[in-house]
């Protein structure tokens, strides 16, 4: 380690290039070893609240590690403190929530991004950060079959990497309100946004953040629309709600259609929703249709699944997360819009210290105007590496294998008379549960399913999650289990083992 005590470094113990190289090799080896032994860990962390914190000092260190050898203590803490407190999202037996894919190429891209330390808020602050991002998102648009007017090469559209689908929804909502304002709506309008009862909670949160909703219980300004037997938004109910709000003097301005809902993977009828906006005049007034396809959007790389987005050409924006099911580490949301002007008008603020000739020319994209924060990492590197390493063929194989495994699991559930499939299978997501017993109350059935999930998860062998689906045909809501297949290294043997554990634990 350099001794800078008498030099310009002021005694700051920075790592030398050689020291960084040595520790970097050691850390990469540790990560590779971790990935190799993933199956040896309980999938869900077994620690109690406070266990991890109890192993950490109450106060920060006064003295540093003193050199490379001091890092032995850090690597020991990784084993003794960190690993027991992790739920292993990259485990091939992680079937809870939706996947959060990581892959070698994406990890290397993340490493390079950190090493370069680029702050890509403006084109001028690193042209490569902007232009690589634009190009790889156009590649992704081509791979998923998006219409040309969502791409950067179009006259009005464009694309950007957001952190998450929640951020994308917020950005779309802010752009929607600005566009409606610019078409004549008063600033103090009583704004109303719409989504299905199965939409992600980020729609409500976005409305709260931008002042449309007055709280989490505001049902007047965020209208949650009833769904059909497949848990998809009902266009007729949406139209009735919009007309009711128009008649009351409220201002409908934003509709979020979900393609692949969190609970059951339900798909809203995008074209029919767009037709409602057209019939009610909301579209002509600037109203915005956003598609949230955070999980299912990855499947669009396979031509056979592009029917999920039937009617996409009537939408104003859409987003999906390559960090969920497309082998790209968190965080990476692909956001596309057909109206970049509305986005820029809503989000652009240019203080003097950000003014520069390239931006003033109008010939470049400044992505700080496409998002909530000013700063941004070079997130496109990991997506660039993933697309180049796997290619379209590899990405399609990844999705198709998981969909096949979902079909296998669905068949096993249907073949066991104790279980039932609780919603139509959506790609690699299967919602299922133990059937009600004769004379059993709905509450008792829910309790048996809850107990089954807890037994299975407590085993450490797999990790599943649950949801509550609305009742149909007058039946009460149902507690159901979710089998979300999609981890990077999941194989049929892992899915089969999960099923066998469920079957043997069901009693």
pLDDT at 151 over 50: yes
Per-residue pLDDT at 5: 45
Task: Kindly tell me if the per-residue pLDDT of 7 is higher than 80.
Answer: no
Q: How confident is the model at residue 138 (pLDDT cuts 50, 70, 90)?
A: very high
Calculate mean pLDDT across residues 393-413.
Answer: 98
Q: Is the pLDDT of residue 347 over 90?
A: no
Q: Domain check: are 160 and 83 in the same one?
A: no
Q: Let me know whether 86 and 160 are in one domain.
A: no
Range 457-477 average pLDDT: 91
In the structure, what pLDDT confidence band is assigned to residue 187 with cuts at 50, 70 and 90? confident
The whole-angstrom separation of Cα 171 and Cα 197 is 21
- Residues 48, 196 within the same domain: no
The answer to whether residue 291 is domain-embedded is: yes
pLDDT in tens, 419-450: 999 999 999 999 999 999 998 999 999 999 99
- Is residue 232 domain-shared with residue 338, that is, in the same domain? yes
| Token duo for residue 219 | 């049902």
With cut-offs at 50, 70 and 90, classify the pLDDT of residue 318.
very high
When divided into structural domains, the chain yields a total of: 2
Which of 52, 75, 91 is where one domain is finished? 91
- d(CA 467, CA 197) in angstroms, rounded, equals 13
Q: What does the alpha-carbon distance between residue 383 and residue 329 come to, in Å, rounded to a whole number?
A: 8
Q: How far apart are CA 276 and CA 298, in angstroms?
A: 27
Neighbours of 166 (CB within 10 A): 20
Q: Indicate if 295 and 157 belong to the same structural domain.
A: yes
Instruction: Place 6 in a pLDDT band, splitting at 50, 70 and 90.
Output: very low
Helix (H) or strand (E) holding 252: strand 251-258
Domain-located, residue 243: yes
pLDDT at 3: 47
The band of 352, judged by pLDDT with boundaries at 50, 70 and 90, is low
Tens-place pLDDT, residues 64-80:
888 888 999 999 999 99
More confident residue, 479 or 187: 479
Residue 27 burial (CB count, 10 A): 15
Read off the tokens for 492.
């049929």
- Distance, in Å, from the CA atom of 129 to the CA atom of 120, rounded to the nearest integer, reads 6
* pLDDT recorded at residue 37: 95
Residue 293 lies in a domain: yes
pLDDT at 22 over 80: yes
The DSSP line for 354-375 is G--HHHHHT-S--GGGGSSSS-
Q: How far apart are CA 405 and CA 429, in angstroms?
A: 10
Q: Is the residue at 377 inside a domain? A: no
Q: What is the CATH number of the domain that holds 85?
A: 1.20.1340.10
Model confidence at 358, pLDDT cuts 50, 70, 90, reads low
Q: Output the pLDDT for position 125.
A: 87
Residues 155 and 81 occupy one common structural domain: no
What are the C-alpha distances in Å from 198 to residues 154, 258, 329?
33, 8, 26
Here the tokens at position 250 are 């409220």
Same domain, 212 and 322: yes
Strand, coil or helix: 9: coil
Residue 402 backbone dihedrals phi, psi, to 5 degrees: -70, -35
pLDDT on residue 353: 66
* Mean pLDDT of all residues belonging to the chain: 93
pLDDT of residue 121: 87
pLDDT of residue 222: 96
| CATH number of domain containing 293 | 3.40.640.10
Within-domain flag for 285: yes
Q: What is the pLDDT of residues 99-123, one digit of tens each?
A: 999 999 999 999 999 999 999 988 8
Half-sphere exposure for 399 (CA within 13 Å, toward CB): 25
Are residues 327 and 228 located together in one domain of the fold? yes
206 in the same domain as 303: yes
Confidence check: pLDDT of 20 > 70: yes
- Smallest CA-to-CA distance from 492 within 396, 428, 423, 435 is with 428
Q: What are phi and psi of 478, to 5 degrees?
A: -125, 135
Note the pLDDT tens digit of each residue in 227-283: 999 999 999 999 999 999 999 999 999 999 999 999 999 999 999 999 999 999 999
pTM for this one? 0.93
pLDDT reading at 361 higher than 80: no
pLDDT at 9: 54
Indicate whether 291 pLDDT > 50. Answer: yes
Quick count: other Cβ atoms within 10 Å of Cβ 12?
A: 10
Among candidate residues 327, 352, 377, the one where a domain is terminated: 352
Mean pLDDT (whole number) for 146-157: 95
- Domain final position from 352, 368, 396: 352
For 203, the domain range is: 149-352
- Same domain assignment for residues 155 and 68: no
Q: Does any domain span residue 117?
A: no
Q: How far apart are CA 123 and CA 203, in angstroms?
A: 30
């Amino acid at each position: 380690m350099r001794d800078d005590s008498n030099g310009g470094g002021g005694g700051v113990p920075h790592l030398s290039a050689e020291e960084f190289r040595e520790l970097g090799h050691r850390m990469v080896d540790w990560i590779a070893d971790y990935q190799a032994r993933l199956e040896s860990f309980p999938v869900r962390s077994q620690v109690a609240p406070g266990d991890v914190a109890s192993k950490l000092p109450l106060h920060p260190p006064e003295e540093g590690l003193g050199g490379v050898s001091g890092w032995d203590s850090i690597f020991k803490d990784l084993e003794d403190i960190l690993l027991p407190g992790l739920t292993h999202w990259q485990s091939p037996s992680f079937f809870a929530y939706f996947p959060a894919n990581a892959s070698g190429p994406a990890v290397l891209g993340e490493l390079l991004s950190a090493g370069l330390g680029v702050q890509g808020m403006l084109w001028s602050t690193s042209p490569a950060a902007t232009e690589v991002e634009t190009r790889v998102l156009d590649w992704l648009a081509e791979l998923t079959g998006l219409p040309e007017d969502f791409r950067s090469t179009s006259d009005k559209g464009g694309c950007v990497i957001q952190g998450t689908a929640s951020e994308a929804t917020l950005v779309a909502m802010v752009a929607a309100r600005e566009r409606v304002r610019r078409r004549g709506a008063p600033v103090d309008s009583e704004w109303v946004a719409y989504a299905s009862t199965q939409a992600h909670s980020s729609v409500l949160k976005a409305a709260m953040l931008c002042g449309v909703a007055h709280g989490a219980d505001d049902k007047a300004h965020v209208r949650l629309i009833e769904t059909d037997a497949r848990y998809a938004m009902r266009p007729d109910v949406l139209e009735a709600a919009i007309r009711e709000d128009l008649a009351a003097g409220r201002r409908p301005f934003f509709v979020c259609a979900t393609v692949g809902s969190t609970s059951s993977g339900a798909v809203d009828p995008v074209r029919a929703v767009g037709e409602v906006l057209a019939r009610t005049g909301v579209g002509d007034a600037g109203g915005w249709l956003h598609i949230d396809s955070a999980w299912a959007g990855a499947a669009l790389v396979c031509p056979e699944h592009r029917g999920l987005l039937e009617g996409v050409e009537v939408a104003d924006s859409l987003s999906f997360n390559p960090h969920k099911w497309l082998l790209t580490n968190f965080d990476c949301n692909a956001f596309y819009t057909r109206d970049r002007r509305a986005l820029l008008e809503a989000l652009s603020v240019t203080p003097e210290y950000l003014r520069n000739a390239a931006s003033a020319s109008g010939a470049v994209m400044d992505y700080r105007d496409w998002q909530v924060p000013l700063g941004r990492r070079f997130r496109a590197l990991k997506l660039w590496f993933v697309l180049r390493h796997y290619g379209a063929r590899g990405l399609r194989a990844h999705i198709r294998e998981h969909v096949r495994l979902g079909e296998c699991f669905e068949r096993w559930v249907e073949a066991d008379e104790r279980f039932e499939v609780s919603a139509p299978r959506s790609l690699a997501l299967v919602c299922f549960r133990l059937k009600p017993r004769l004379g059993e109350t709905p509450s008792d059935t829910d309790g048996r399913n809850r107990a089954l999930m807890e037994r299975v998860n407590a085993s450490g062998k797999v990790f599943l999650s649950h949801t509550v689906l609305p009742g149909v045909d007058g039946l009460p809501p149902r507690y159901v289990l979710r089998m979300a297949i999609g981890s990077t290294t999941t194989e049929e043997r892992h899915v089969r083992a999960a099923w066998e554990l469920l079957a043997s634990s069901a009693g």
